[in-house]
Amino acid sequence: MPQDQPIIYLDNAATSYPKPEQVWHAMDEFARSGGANANRGQNPFARKASRLVEETRFKVANWLGLDTSSIRITFVPSASIALNQVILGTPLKAGEGVYLSPFEHNSVLRPVEHLRQSIGIVVQEIPFHQTQLTVERDKLWAMWRQLPPQLLILSQASNVCGLILPVEELAALARNINPAVVIIVDGAQAAGLYPLNLNNGLIDYLVWSGHKSFYGPFGVAGIAFCSEKRPVPVFFGGTGTFSESLQMPEELPSAYEPGSLNSPAIAGLNAALDWLFATGRDNITNHVSKLMLILQENLASLSGIRLIKVSAERRVGVLSCNLQGVTPQSLEEYLGNQNISVRAGLHCSPKAHSFLDTIGRGGTVRFSPGFFNTTLEIGEVISTFISLIE
């Protein structure tokens, strides 16, 4: 591994890196200046932590475009935990239909499989065209007329190929069939950077991740409650409110925030949101799109490379590929030895790889640039590929 060469980090789909410098400063300052337990008492440190938490809720809602007239944001440690809450907390009966896209993460697939085995729900996959990656609407409509959707779960964007799914269109179609359908969006890869309409009643819950598209730290994610629906709590504990009751509080946010909040991470998220507003979502997404275009066009010109291509207007900053005769894991190791960080394998999304016909290849190598990558770095990656192939 070249010791004098800085690492080119292209794994932002796993977590954004580097974080804006103010994120680390905010976390350090909070921890050093009396980082107390929010909503646990009226001492000065606790009040300071509580103010930070409530201010950050408002900023998250504002960034997502969610109505800020009431509390609609809850904090949890990760998007996986948030997805478990809204999926397992949705009342379902045996034989009812649960519909997923082919691009869902195991954070969705595994709790749904648990419900299939334990309750007897019927899990169906939304039909997508194999090469165009578009919804086959006639087939879907026929499926929904035969078995109406009771729960619809959609990734906003695929963590394997970057495809942005037609979330709002599918949500509207589902509500035409069953107005009571519960609609969950996994926004881990795109929330905030690619806004959805969260105020028109189509989406019930949007799950977001602080350490990915928010450019914040690990340890903080959450649920945006976009309708009047509320899942049954699946996690229980102290909330600092209504302590005399052995039942969880019913109102937001306490109903879904048992235990101590990760206040240092929330402090970092607060700073990340300030950075996002100051930088601007268009500046971030346009820069990443420019890097993606350079990377895709140059890799496509090389022999032996199979790209999963998605048009620029339909994708986030994710590109997957295979190199003929080389396993994804071997290619990841080779690139790592050149100080290029990518991610190989199934990316916790086995159904997506089955759909894309890459599971038998051991998955793909995934490139996911972020705002802090440069065109010079992308050029170095392309040069490395040219040297490898030649």
Residue 166 has pLDDT above 70, yes or no: yes
How many whole angstroms separate alpha carbon 207 and alpha carbon 74? 10
Give the DSSP H/E element, type plus range, for residue 383: helix 375-389
Confidence class for position 2, pLDDT limits 50, 70, 90: low
DSSP assignment of 107-143, as one string?
A: HHHHHHHHHHHHT--EEEEPPB-TTT--B-HHHHHHH
Q: What is the pLDDT of residue 240?
A: 80
Query: Residue with structure tokens 């994708």?
Result: 315
The answer on pLDDT for 1 being more than 70 is no
- Asked if 150 contacts 144 with a C-beta cutoff of 8 angstroms, the reply is no
Give tens-digit pLDDT for 325-371.
999 999 999 999 999 999 999 999 999 999 999 999 999 999 999 99
74-107 core/surface letters (b: 16 or more CB in 10 A; e: else): bbbbbbbbbbbbbbbbbebeeebbbbbbbbbbbb
Please name every residue paired with 8 in a beta bridge, in sequence order, or none if there are none: 340
What dihedral angle (degrees, nearest 10) is formed by the CA atoms of 215, 221, 227, 228?
-150
- What does the pLDDT read at residue 4? 67
Give the Cα separation of 238 and 259 in Å (integer): 5
Domains in the chain: boundaries: 8-19+280-389, 27-278
Q: Is the pLDDT of residue 276 over 80?
A: yes
* pLDDT given at position 48: 86
pLDDT higher than threshold 80 for residue 3: no
What CATH fold (topology level) applies to the domain 27-278? Aspartate Aminotransferase; domain 2 (3.40.640)
Average pLDDT over residues 206-227: 98
10: pLDDT confidence band, cut at 50, 70 and 90? very high
Q: Does residue 60 have a pLDDT over 70?
A: yes
Higher pLDDT, 359 or 4: 359
Assign a CATH topology to domain 8-19+280-389: Aspartate Aminotransferase, domain 1 (3.90.1150)
Mean pLDDT confidence for 142-170 = 98
- Determine the average pLDDT of the residues in 158-172: 98
Higher pLDDT, 152 or 4: 152
What percentage of the chain has pLDDT greater than the value 70?
Answer: 98
Contact call for residues 218 and 15 (beta carbons, < 8 A): yes
Residue 249: HSE in the Cβ half-sphere, 13 Å Cα cutoff: 16
Among residues 115, 121, 112, the alpha carbon closest in space to that of 155 is found at: 112
How far apart are the C-alpha atoms of 274 and 245, rounded to whole Å?
Answer: 37
pLDDT digits (tens, 9 = 90+) for 74-129: 999 999 999 999 999 999 999 999 999 999 999 999 999 999 999 999 999 999 99
Closest CA to 207 of 101, 107, 100: 107
